[in-house]
């Protein structure tokens, strides 16, 4: 039985500023949910940023959505599946829904002694790790940063790009590190369909994919772009549900999908997108939102499913944090181990988590 849910706000510094086409991040604003009952704690980590730069969601907005609309849906016996069904009455707010669904799912799986990986149908014990490289001040800086990640053992490099930092940086990385390097780019919606010919210049570099070149709402324009650019188009921000994924694939807007559970409302919807793509032979990979160990552990369970055939942004803890809130995830031969314990399979160091926590509020769950 669920007795109470705690909403915890915390703050953690990044090891280095992370620059994308939408801005520079130097720290992560955190929102965790803890589902308490029967002596078990289920954890969820919200992926929203402090400002609505990646998508329309932001962490204070998620907190408001949770307090006013989502937490009141939970009773002592609500399952993750039941919550997600009743939460459908509210439009959007995927990241707010995802954190609560995940905390409920972690709680019930821990009670059953089943790991999230087992629940999802994971088939791998470890997953290959890629890394997302921020926009750098100069190409020399970029080459140094990429070299460092390759020395760490990362198996795939993703370069963040924007107008003015695209063709030449990609050319330089390809030239410096060779044709064998698994290389892709992510524009975070920074281009327009009128940039199609410009983006086609990336075709010469044999990239795995171009991620989200155009705005989230312009799904059909991605299909137009895919007729001009030979490099596979991968959608991230646009894919908010399995229905959008199906339509995007049907019209040829993308041939690869980045699955982020937070962006699609949780792990249950993420599994549906995986299953759709697996059935159609469409490659998927697991994105990242600078999660601490709680969110990272859950993503690894997802990335261990059979359809995740490309390395994800599931990087080691040290990519983002000097000290993670869980036992750190470390690279071994370019891979991260999938946790095997019940639920997400790991717990935060509560003393450390408390030290970075600004506020904990408790919501009692009335029977």
CA distance 303 to 336: 10
Instruction: Provide, rounded to whole angstroms, the least separation between the CB of residue 282 and ligand NPQ.
Output: 18
Q: Is 272 a catalytic residue?
A: no
With H, G, I as helix, E, B as strand and everything else as coil, classify residue 279: helix
Concatenated DSSP letters of 239-252: --SHHHHHHHHHTT
Go through the chain and tell me how many residues it has: 367
Candidate residues 101, 236, 269, 324; the one interacting with Mg ion per rule CB under 5 A? 236
Task: Region of 186 please: left (phi>0), alpha (psi -120 to 50) or beta.
Answer: beta
Instruction: Provide, rounded to whole angstroms, the least separation between the CB of residue 132 and ligand NPQ.
Output: 3
Rounded to 5 degrees, φ, ψ at 245 are -60, -45
Site residues for Mg ion, 205-234, by CB under 5 A, read 211
Q: Report the residue number, 226 or 286, with the smaller CB distance to Mg ion.
A: 286
Instruction: Provide, rounded to whole angstroms, the least separation between the CB of residue 270 and Mg ion.
Output: 15
Site residues for Mg ion, 163-202, by CB under 5 A, read 186
> Using CB distances below 5 to 8 A depending on partner kind, what does residue 25 bind out of Mg ion, ligand NPQ, none?
ligand NPQ
CA end-to-end distance (rounded Å), the chain: 9
Burial of 281 (0-12, 13-18, 19+ CB in 10 A): exposed
Q: Report the residue number, 16 or 75, with the smaller CB distance to ligand NPQ.
A: 16
With H, G, I as helix, E, B as strand and everything else as coil, classify residue 10: strand
Selecting among 97, 124, 158, 160, the annotated active-site residue is 160
The secondary structure of residue 310, as a DSSP letter, is: S
> Using CB distances below 5 to 8 A depending on partner kind, what does residue 290 bind out of ligand NPQ, Mg ion, none?
ligand NPQ
CA distance 199 to 184: 13
CA distance 325 to 305: 25
Binding residues vs ligand NPQ (CB under 6 A): 18, 20, 25, 28, 49, 54, 132, 186, 188, 236, 287-290, 313
Q: Report the residue number, 2 or 202, with the smaller CB distance to ligand NPQ.
A: 202
Q: Is 160 a catalytic residue?
A: yes
Q: What mask of x and - would describe binding to Mg ion in positions 268 to 307, judged by CB under 5 A?
A: ----------------------------------------
> Using CB distances below 5 to 8 A depending on partner kind, what does residue 289 bind out of ligand NPQ, Mg ion, none?
ligand NPQ
Residue pair 225/197 in contact (Cβ under 8 Å)? The answer is: no
Q: Report the residue number, 2 or 209, with the smaller CB distance to ligand NPQ.
A: 209
> Using CB distances below 5 to 8 A depending on partner kind, what does residue 43 bind out of ligand NPQ, Mg ion, none?
none
74: part of which helix (H) or strand (E)? none
Instruction: Provide, rounded to whole angstroms, the least separation between the CB of residue 50 and ligand NPQ.
Output: 8
Residue pair 120/286 in contact (Cβ under 8 Å)? The answer is: no
Instruction: Provide, rounded to whole angstroms, the least separation between the CB of residue 78 and ligand NPQ.
Output: 28
CA distance 14 to 122: 30
Binding site for Mg ion (CB under 5 A): 186, 211, 236
Residues classed as catalytic: 160, 260
């Amino acid at each position: 039985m669920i007795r109470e849910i705690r909403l915890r706000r915390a703050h953690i510094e990044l090891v280095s500023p992370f620059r994308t086409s939408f801005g520079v991040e130097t720290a992560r604003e955190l929102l965790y949910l803890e589902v308490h009952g029967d002596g078990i704690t289920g954890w969820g980590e919200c992926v929203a940023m402090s400002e609505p730069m990646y998508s329309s969601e932001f962490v204070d907005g998620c907190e408001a959505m949770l307090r006013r609309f989502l937490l009141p849906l939970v009773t002592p016996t609500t399952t993750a599946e039941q919550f997600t069904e009743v939460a459908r009455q509210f439009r959007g707010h995927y990241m707010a829904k995802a954190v609560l669904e995940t905390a409920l799912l972690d709680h019930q799986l821990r009670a059953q002694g089943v790991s999230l990986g087992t629940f999802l149908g994971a088939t791998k014990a470890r997953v290959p790790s890629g890394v997302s490289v921020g926009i750098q001040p100069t190409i020399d800086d970029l080459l140094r940063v990429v070299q460092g990640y390759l020395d760490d053992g990362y198996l795939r490099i993703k370069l963040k790009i924007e107008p003015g930092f695209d063709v030449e940086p990609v050319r330089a990385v390809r030239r410096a590190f060779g044709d064998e390097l698994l290389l892709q780019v992510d524009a975070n919606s920074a281009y327009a369909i009128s940039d199609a010919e410009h983006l086609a210049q990336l075709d010469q570099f044999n990239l795995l994919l171009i991620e989200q070149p155009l705005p989230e709402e312009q799904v059909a324009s991605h299909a137009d772009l895919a007729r001009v650019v030979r490099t596979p188009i991968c959608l991230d921000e646009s894919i908010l549900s399995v229905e959008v994924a199906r339509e995007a694939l049907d019209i040829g807007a993308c041939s690869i999908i980045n699955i982020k559970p937070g962006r699609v409302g949780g792990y249950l919807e993420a599994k549906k997108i995986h299953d759709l793509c697996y059935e159609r032979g469409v490659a998927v990979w697991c994105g990242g939102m600078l999660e601490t160990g709680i969110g990272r552990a859950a993503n690894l369970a997802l990335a261990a499913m059979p359809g995740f055939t490309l390395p994800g942004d599931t990087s080691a803890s040290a990519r983002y944090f000097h000290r993670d809130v869980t036992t750190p995830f470390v690279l071994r031969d370019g891979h991260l181990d999938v946790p095997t314990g019940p639920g997400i399979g790991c717990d935060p160091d509560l003393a450390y988590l408390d030290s970075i926590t600004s506020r904990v509020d408790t919501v009692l769950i009335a029977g």
